[in-house]
Amino acid sequence: MEITGRLTADAVVRSTKTDKKVVGFNLAHNETYKSKGEKKQVTTFFECSYWLNEGIAMYLKKGVIVELAGMAGARAYAVDGEPRASLTFRVDKITLYSNGVAVPQQVLPIEVTAPGSAGAGLQPSAQFDTVPLPEDDLPF
């Protein structure tokens, strides 16, 4: 499944009891439709988790537009005995957008595609080293 929306806050990196890192963030997805000639908008919020590389968190800031691919789900819980639920999204791939244009993967110093998913690239790494281009390959 794929969803596109804006981050509602900066991403947060957390550690599990086994010291695995997970990037958590919330996404607002807007949908517009007409009802009886009147334009209406519905916003759906998703609690997202990305387990592959905590380094991506530095790019996931409030207001950034992202396209996510992964699995949707739901989480049930209680607050003061009152049942609640929220939509969740386990992210396998993240595409960042700048001014409505997808940021090319070459610009990002890390790979953000899940291993084993369709179109998966290199294994993610926690390093932010970029590979320098040979001078004869520069476009100018």
For 93, the token pair is 């791939």
Domain with 114 in it: 2-137
pLDDT of residue 85: 86
What's the mean pLDDT in 120-133? 38
| Residue-wise pLDDT tens digits, 91-109 | 999 998 876 666 655 455 4
Considering its fold, how many domains does the chain have in total? 1
pLDDT of residue 77: 85
* Mean pLDDT score of the chain: 78
Angle at 112 between CA 107 and CA 114, to 5 degrees: 155
Alpha helices in the chain (DSSP H): none
> Whole-angstrom distance between the N-terminal and C-terminal Cα of the chain?
39
Instruction: Tell me: pLDDT of 84 over 90.
Output: no
Global model pTM greater than 0.85: no
Instruction: Tell me: pLDDT of 133 over 70.
Output: no
Q: Are 8 and 62 in contact (CB under 8 A)?
A: yes
Instruction: Tell me: pLDDT of 112 over 90.
Output: no
pLDDT above 90 as % of the chain: 51
| Residue-wise pLDDT tens digits, 20-64 | 999 999 999 999 999 999 999 999 999 999 998 888 999 899 999
What is the CATH classification number for the domain harbouring 118?
Answer: 2.40.50.140
pLDDT of residue 103: 64
